[in-house]
Amino acid sequence: MRTPFIAGNWKMNTTPTEAAGLAREIVSALEGVYNLEVAVAPPFTSLAAVGPVIRGTSIRLAAQDLHWEDHGPFTGGISHSMLEALGCVYVLVGHSERRIYFGETDHLVNRKIKAALRGGLRPILCVGEEEAERKGGRLREVLVRQVDRCLEDVSAGAAGRLAVAYEPVWAIGTGRAATLEDAVEAHQIIRHQLELLFGTQAAAPVRILYGGSVSPGNAAGFASQPEVDGVLVGGASLKVAEFAAIVRAGW
C-alpha cells in the first residue's frame, strides 16, 4: 500500500564537486530500480550541484534542515522556498543531531514542519529515544511526546505529505542497529499515535522509516517487516555500492 522509501542523509559531507560525482554514481548504480522511491540529502551547499544530476531520474532531492520562517533577518537561515527553488522535494526535520548539537526542541521542529508544509515540501520528521530513555522504560512516552509535539496543529489533510523516521539515538553511527523487534515495536507506537492524531485513514499513507546503522547486512531484515516502510541511511549512503545494496534489499 505504501511505496517503500529509501533516503540517504549525507550529513556534513561532500563539496559540490564531490556531491555531483557521488550523485552520478548513484544514478548509474540504481538504473532499473522503479518499484520504490529514493532520495538523497546533500548539504545545502551541494543541492544546486546534485539537482541537475538527478533530474529526470527517479531519485528525489532532499534537504537536511530548513528555517521555520519564510524569510527575514535570520543570518545563515535557509527557507522552504529557497529549497523548493533548487528542486528539493523532501526535507529532514528534527534529526537528532540537530536536536543534540544545535539545541532544536520539539517546538522548533513543529514550526519547521509547518514551514515545510506551507511551502511545497514533504517533511521527514525524525524522532527517536536516547539509550537511557529506552533503558528506563520510557520508549513509548518519548515517542508519543515527540510525535504529538512535533505535529501539533498539522492537519489530517497534510498528513499525506509527511514521512516519519524512527532513529534511535543510540543506533546512529554506532554500528549497533535496532533489532527488528525493537524497530517494529517503535514503528507500531508511532503509527498508533499518527492514527490518533490524523485518523486511521489519513495516517495510512504516512511512511515510517527506520534509521540508525542501516547496512547491506541488515537492510533485508528491515525490508521484510511490513511495519518498516523504508530506511534513512547515514554513513552507508556515502558509499555507492552499500547504498545500492540497501536499495536493492528486497523492498
Residues with catalytic roles: 95, 167
27: alpha, beta or left? (left if phi > 0; alpha if psi -120 to 50):
alpha
Site string for ligand 13P, 105-124 (x = CB under 6 A): --------------------
Q: How far is the C-alpha of 251 from the C-alpha of 249, rounded, in Å?
A: 6
Burial label, 157 (beta-carbon count in 10 A; 0-12, 13-18, 19+): exposed
Stretch that binds ligand 13P, among 28-36, 182-190, 197-205, 231-239 (CB under 6 A): 231-239
Residue type, 223: A
Member of 94, 128, 230, 234 binding ligand 13P (CB under 6 A)? 234
CA distances from 185 to 27, 59, 169, 212 (A): 34, 30, 16, 15
State in angstroms the smallest separation of the CB of 47 from ligand 13P: 17
Helix axes 44-54, 16-29, angle to 10 degrees: 40
For ligand 13P, the closer CB: 41 or 139: 41
Which of 150, 159, 100 lies closest to 126 in space, CA to CA? 150
Residues 160-219 close enough to bind ligand 13P by CB under 6 A: 167, 172-173, 211-214
C-alpha distances out from residue 223 to 1, 106, 181, 194, Å: 14, 29, 13, 21
Site for ligand 13P in 68-97 (CB under 6 A): 95
Interface with ligand 13P includes 247 (CB under 6 A)?
A: no
User: Can residue 128 be called a binding residue for ligand 13P (CB under 6 A)?
Assistant: no
14 binds ligand 13P (CB under 6 A): no
**Cβ-based nearer residue to ligand 13P, 110 or 213:** 213
Interface positions with ligand 13P (CB under 6 A): 9, 95, 167, 172-173, 211-214, 232-236
